Amino acid sequence: MERVPLERKVLNENDRIAAGLREQFAQHDVLCLNLISSPGSGKTSLLERTLESFDRGGRVALLTGDIRTENDAKRLARFGFPVKQITTGGTCHLDARMIEKALADWRLEDIDLLLIENVGNLVCPSSYDLGEAAKVVVLSVAEGEDKPLKYPSIFFKSELLILNKIDLLPYVPFDIAAAEENARRVHNDMQIVRTSCQTRDGIAEWLAWLNRKREGQRSAAAVSAS
């Protein structure tokens, strides 16, 4: 009983910081996306496939969260864009204060796209707004088509579902139509892209979604400036 008010206070504080971040992102025309999945679904792989498609001079930056190790930051740094690892030391999600701290010595003027890889977890990250324009949930075909029903919050709050590892479909009993139907039972107009980071199937479709988001953000900024 005693825990409820404290939890509410922490979340309220997070929302306050996230609102400040969202305002800064809007001011500097930064599109910020928050990638969430279970450990191993392919968040870092999707980011690798994404970065390899960008020109080196692209105004892209990345934050990647893990409980321990700098492994993901090292994987992503190979592409030449600014990357920072946030190691939470045990916390199972990123929060807005961690993002604010990680961004303190970066100039938002130099960034158009900020990609955040959250800590691998389908539960806790759904409660923490990071000031992002959208959450993107990644589910791999090795995880079971029932996951949207078991973890509805993150599927409800995410704008896009990436169904990854479709190259494994011949080898795993995964009903992809049922997975998509389950996601849409939780989130009626969920957008869904099927990908393989191994064969690169569907990556162009993900990049097209990303570009539409960037265009959408630019037009919204132009309207509010006029």
List residues binding Mg ion (CB under 5 A): 43-44, 72
Among 51, 196, 206, 210, binds ligand GDP (CB under 6 A): 196
168 near ligand GDP, judged by CB under 6 A: yes
Nearer to ligand GDP, 5 or 90 (CB): 90
Give 49's contacts (C-beta < 8 A, 6+ positions apart): 195, 197, 200, 203, 206
Q: Which of the listed partners (ligand GDP, Mg ion, none) does 40 bind, with a CB threshold of 5 to 8 Å by partner kind?
A: ligand GDP
84 near ligand GDP, judged by CB under 6 A: no
Q: Which of the listed partners (ligand GDP, Mg ion, none) does 37 bind, with a CB threshold of 5 to 8 Å by partner kind?
A: ligand GDP
Q: How far is the CB of 83 from ligand GDP (least distance, A)?
A: 13
Q: Which of the listed partners (Mg ion, ligand GDP, none) does 45 bind, with a CB threshold of 5 to 8 Å by partner kind?
A: ligand GDP
C-beta of residue 85 within 8 angstroms of C-beta of residue 64: yes
Q: Is the Cα torsion angle 133, 94, 75, 61 positive or negative in sign? A: positive
Q: How far is the CB of 53 from ligand GDP (least distance, A)?
A: 15
Alpha helices in the chain (DSSP H): 3-27, 43-51, 71-77, 96-103, 147-150, 152-157, 176-186, 203-225
* Contacts of ligand GDP in 59-78 (CB under 6 A): none
Among 2-10, 15-23, 160-168, 185-193, the segment contacting ligand GDP (CB under 6 A): 160-168
Using Cβ positions, the residue closest to Mg ion within the complex turns out to be: 44
Q: How far is the CB of 44 from Mg ion (least distance, A)?
A: 3
Binding flags for ligand GDP, 106-125, as an x/- string (CB under 6 A)? --------------x-----
C-alpha 225: how far from chain center: 28
* Contacts of ligand GDP in 33-62 (CB under 6 A): 37, 39-45
Burial (Cβ within 10 Å: 0-12, 13-18, ≥19) of residue 153: middle
* Residue among 145, 133, 132 nearest 194 (CA): 145
Q: Which residue has the tokens 């996230």?
A: 18
Angle at 191 between CA 185 and CA 192, to 5 degrees: 90
Q: Is the Cα torsion angle 160, 165, 168, 174 positive or negative in sign? A: negative
Please give the residue ranges that form the binding site for ligand GDP (CB under 6 A). 37, 39-45, 120, 164-165, 167-168, 196-198
